[in-house]
Structure 1
Amino acid sequence: MLRFRVLALSTAFLAGPFLSTARVVQAHDAPQVVSAAWLADHLKDRNLVLLHVGEKAGYDAGHIPGAQYIALADISTPRGEGLTLELPPVERLEVVLEGLGISDDSRIVVYYGKDWVSPATRVIFTLDSLGLGGRTSLLDGGMPAWVANGQPTSAESGTPAKGSLTPRAQATTVDGAWMDANLGKPGHVVVDARNVEFYTGAKAGGRPERNGHIPGAVSIPFDSLLTDAPRFKPERELRAAFAAAGVKDGDRVVAYCHIGQQATVVYVAARVLGYPVVLYDGSFEDWSARGKPVEAAK
């Protein structure tokens, strides 16, 4: 099973106080990618918060007992206020997450319904951006794995008690100005997470549409890191994919895609492998809109 390596940017958040009156999962006790069996064993833990990512109709039809529904729209800048998918102000995220019952001592498990892997990893990235990365896990295989394991589902939903969260913003994103200033510098590997036809220029992307990729970027398509199930491939296969693209030990991965969603699969995989990683949140949409140069694969 995969286990996330918790990078230094997250470890400062691990020392919150814990009550002793009920079983509590402490961040250093729990694996960062959890199995259905692990989750079943910890389902009643006092500080567990479950987040369901997927279609609302799917959540309403049946979800893991106690799970709260979260949509990307809840944790993104509203359309019309910027690019398609950007992190909103920390203050807004704090309100949303507290409304889901998240507190400083919460142990959070994110899971996806059906094949919504990249929306789920976008949620994990968002939690990491607030300093919750060391307390957040992905359910390996999502809802399908839970059901296949013979675990119960529920159609009941309720409003959790409001959480008490102290956000600790982390440097998980870079913007266009940073890209302009740092593109091509040693130690930074820009990774294009889009499907390969967009990288090569066979298909156009961005607004306005452009054929190609950010100059110097390497290609690691997000879906190449996943099995058909879908779930993340074994760590050795992830490491081989990064190495084949030219990522070396000590490199800082700068991931981008169309709008900042698919690239979070690369972001999470990089964390699994221990690479320092950031997300170019505006991604190719921002790059194209600013009229920056692109190159096609040779």
Structure 2
Amino acid sequence: MGWIAAISMALLLAGSAPAGSAPAGASLPGAGTPRAEMVVDTAWVAARLDAPDLVILQIGDAAAYDAGHIPGARLLNLADISAPPTGSDPLFLEMPEAEALRAKLEALGVSDTSTVIVYPTRDIQSATRAVFVLDTAGLGPRTRLLEGGLPAWKAEGRPLSTRPRAVVPGRLSPIVFRPIVVDADYVKRHVRAPGYVVVDARAPEFYSGEKAGGPPGKPHRAGHIAGARSVPFSSVTTPDLMLAPEAEIAARFEAAGVKPGDRIIAYCHVGQQASATLFAARSVGLDVLLYDGSFEEWSRLGGEVEAGK
């Protein structure tokens, strides 16, 4: 089983990191496995709803937020933390300018000392995209994904609020982006380079070319970046908005040809689904990069494409 066996043994020895018992503050769970430093559960959040340094972000639209959210949560739409579309044929969900992102996060109450909990309402990839943006901005060590999101919170009968929270603006240091976002030229140079694996996070039918993505009237080219391997985001997450078990995630990446020490470059349609695949990769200790322009940009630029499984 190679490195999968090694990961499984490490997880067995480390165990799950304890969520902690003191509800007074928002101190994060102690280190155990990579996954333990990336996620929290509903019980951890419920015990700390009144923590002054806790910022909870619901990812989605106003209708879902108004219908009921975790008490104290603030609403965040992905458009709020993306570069505004420009020109007649813009790319979507691109990384924003640092100062624009800083202003938005401060308006949500995020400060240098904040613990930020991000949770999805319908799909995990919207929340992992927000987590990726925060991680790129240097806030990753104090950001966690609430596994199961709002559906898990509701299923457990936990309280909901329909009132928006009064937010005290936060104070953030100037943002310096971490170099974990790459462009098309970088992908071209590294797609077959030793130590790198380009991963397609889209559904298999898009990877194979059976279907073409893109908006109506302007479809993407059929197929995938030549040399890329397929690790659909849905194969490393679960329908109930959680990560798959670590051993399953590791097996998926090993089957795609990922070896210990390799760096993964992931893409999807526009950079959202890939964030879930990268989040899963990080949870088993893999090094990751995002091709943010993804297949939408690659298709426009005429990059090399191949079809088939």
Matched, 1:285 2:296: yes
Q: Aligned equivalents of 1:27 and 1:174: distance in 2?
A: 30
The answer on whether the counterparts of 2:206 and 2:222 sit within 8 Å (CA) in structure 1 is yes
Alpha-carbon displacement from aligned partner over 1:166-196 (angstroms, at most 9, x marks no partner): 2232112001121222221111100000010
What residue is the counterpart of 2:221 in the other structure? 210
Q: Aligned equivalents of 1:209 and 1:230: distance in 2?
A: 28
Q: Aligned equivalents of 2:259 and 2:199: distance in 1?
A: 13
| TM-score calculated relative to the size of structure 1 | 0.88
What residue is the counterpart of 1:193 in the other structure? 201
Matched, 1:96 2:107: no
Matched, 1:51 2:57: yes
The answer on whether the counterparts of 2:147 and 2:241 sit within 8 Å (CA) in structure 1 is no
Alpha-carbon displacement from aligned partner over 1:260-295 (angstroms, at most 9, x marks no partner): 011000111111111110100000011111111101
What residue is the counterpart of 1:24 in the other structure? 25
The answer on whether the counterparts of 2:220 and 2:295 sit within 8 Å (CA) in structure 1 is no
Which consecutive unaligned segments of at least 5 residues does structure 1 have? 1-21
Relative contact order (alpha carbons < 8 A, sep ≥ 6): 1 or 2 greater?
1
What residue is the counterpart of 1:160 in the other structure? 167
> By how many angstroms is 1:222 displaced?
0.9
Identity of counterpart residues, as a percentage?
A: 49
Q: Aligned equivalents of 2:285 and 2:108: distance in 1?
A: 29
Matched, 1:71 2:85: no
What residue is the counterpart of 1:275 in the other structure? 286
Length, aligned pairs only: 276
Q: Aligned equivalents of 2:29 and 2:40: distance in 1?
A: 13
> By how many angstroms is 1:208 displaced?
5.2
What residue is the counterpart of 1:6 in the other structure? none
The answer on whether the counterparts of 1:53 and 1:116 sit within 8 Å (CA) in structure 2 is no
SS of residue paired to 1:137: strand
Matched, 1:250 2:257: no
RMSD: 1.6
Structure 1's 159 and 177: CA in aligned 2 closer, same or farther, altered over 3 A?
farther
SS of residue paired to 1:42: coil
| TM-score calculated relative to the size of structure 2 | 0.85
Alpha-carbon displacement from aligned partner over 1:77-132 (angstroms, at most 9, x marks no partner): 1123541120111110000000000001110100011x221111100000001011
